[in-house]
Homo-oligomer: A and B are copies of this chain.
Amino acid sequence: MGDLAAAIGAELIGDPAAVVSRIASVEHAGPQSITFITGKKYLPLLAQSEPAAVVLPLDLRDQVSTIQLLSENPYLAYARLTQLWADALMPASDGVVHPSATIAENAQVDRSASIGPGVVVQESAVVGARATIGAGAVIGHASIVGEKTSVHPNATIMHGVTIGSDCEIHSGAVIGADGFGWAPSSDGWVKIHQLGGVQIGNRVSIGACTTVDRGALDNTIIADGVILDNQIQVAHNVVIGENTAIAGCTGIAGSTTIGRNCRIGGAVSIVGHISICDDVLVTANSFVNRSIKHSGSYSSGYPLEDSKTWRKNAVRLHRLDQFARNVIQKS
């Protein structure tokens, strides 16, 4: 327990020699568990689950009967605890190249990188030290995977993509597919070949089945510390600033710029060629149909109703302008 407290920077009240076998939610903790709570309202749950130890905020000192790990920020301490368990559970990157992998002769794969079964590393690609490429993943021509970056199974990195260090690219993600650029002609759509690439910074996480398209001429850019959830679409020439977080199923159309430290909710749709400044919060399911120039919280979306009420309101909504004109005229 002393080790755990030190690792997360918490003050330990209790036996430093005590051990726990797992980290658990407060609802499902038990005598072998360490858990965490972020406030007073979880004390009753804690009393029920009787864990061996709990990470808790400073102001709850001595409110519990278990071993205490007092922390200024229990949620962050919990994040750090999960790192310890993950390190124990996950096999370390071990520098093994599976014999079924196909690695181009002039690709540069660091000796300490791990390459899984069926992986393909194409010509001139670079895989950095202690990077891990999961089974079936493809690293395209001249693409770069930075140190300690993990590309999960069946992810696809196309050509000319640069990924920094300490990143995670989850399964099914596709980085560097062609942006959707077409010129109309009398013979139908003429493809604008996408000659730019994708540039991803350090400590970036990209979720499962998220797609980040390559730029038309310039690069699509994702800055350091950005975290993207699953099934996000990032179109060509989008720029996402440092430490911005985006939840699942959000789509960002071409050439839009998003600032730093933004938090974009899930299922948001963001039109192209706009600019969102730093420190913007967009709530889930919003339609961002214009630039945002001032930091703050933004929303849109039609909230849930019973279907009968919705049908009536929707009819009124359809005539809203006419209704308002009538009312104003009469008043």
- A: residues with CB less than 8 A from B are 23-25, 27-28, 73, 75-76, 78-80, 82-83, 85-86, 89, 91, 98, 100, 102, 116-118, 120, 122, 134-136, 138, 140-141, 152-154, 156, 158, 168, 170-174, 177-178, 180-185, 188-195, 203, 205, 207-209, 211, 213, 216-218, 224-225, 227, 229-231, 233, 235, 242-243, 245, 247-249, 251, 253, 266-267, 269, 271, 281-290, 292, 296-321, 323-324, 327, 330-331
- 16 CB contacts below 8 A, A to B, read A25-B218, A76-B184, A82-B216, A83-B191, A85-B193, A91-B141, A102-B118, A135-B138, A156-B172, A174-B208, A287-B302, A297-B307, A301-B302, A309-B321, A313-B321, A317-B317
A311 to B281, CA, bound (A): 15
Q: Given A172-B211, A188-B242, list of 8 further CB < 8 A pairs?
A: A138-B171, A154-B174, A172-B172, A177-B208, A189-B225, A209-B211, A284-B289, A305-B318
Decide: B233 and A24 in contact? CB cutoff 8 A. Answer: no
How far does the Cβ of A2 sit from chain B's closest Cβ, in whole Å? 22
Decide: B247 and A79 in contact? CB cutoff 8 A. Answer: no
Decide: A248 and B245 in contact? CB cutoff 8 A. Answer: no
How far does the Cβ of A323 sit from chain B's closest Cβ, in whole Å? 6
Decide: B251 and A233 in contact? CB cutoff 8 A. Answer: no
Q: Contacting A317 at CB < 8 Å: which of B235, B251, B320?
A: B320
Q: Contacting A117 at CB < 8 Å: which of B98, B102, B249, B266?
A: B102
How far does the Cβ of A73 sit from chain B's closest Cβ, in whole Å? 8
Decide: A190 and B76 in contact? CB cutoff 8 A. Answer: yes
**Complex interface: chain B residues within 8 A of A135 (CB):** 102, 120, 122, 138
**Complex interface: chain B residues within 8 A of A207 (CB):** 177, 180, 211
**Complex interface: chain B residues within 8 A of A251 (CB):** 231, 248-249, 266-267
A321 to B323, CA, bound (A): 11
Decide: A299 and B310 in contact? CB cutoff 8 A. Answer: yes
Decide: B269 and A284 in contact? CB cutoff 8 A. Answer: yes
Please name the residue on chain B nearest to A85 by beta carbon: B195
Decide: A299 and B303 in contact? CB cutoff 8 A. Answer: no
A287 to B100, CA, bound (A): 46
Q: Contacting A171 at CB < 8 Å: which of B75, B98, B174?
A: B174
Decide: B289 and A190 in contact? CB cutoff 8 A. Answer: no
How far does the Cβ of A56 sit from chain B's closest Cβ, in whole Å? 15
Decide: A78 and B183 in contact? CB cutoff 8 A. Answer: yes
Decide: B331 and A320 in contact? CB cutoff 8 A. Answer: no
How far does the Cβ of A137 sit from chain B's closest Cβ, in whole Å? 8
Decide: B153 and A138 in contact? CB cutoff 8 A. Answer: yes
A28 to B168, CA, bound (A): 30
**Complex interface: chain B residues within 8 A of A267 (CB):** 251, 269, 287
Decide: B217 and A23 in contact? CB cutoff 8 A. Answer: yes
**Complex interface: chain B residues within 8 A of A269 (CB):** 249, 266-267, 284-285
Please name the residue on chain B nearest to A281 by beta carbon: B307
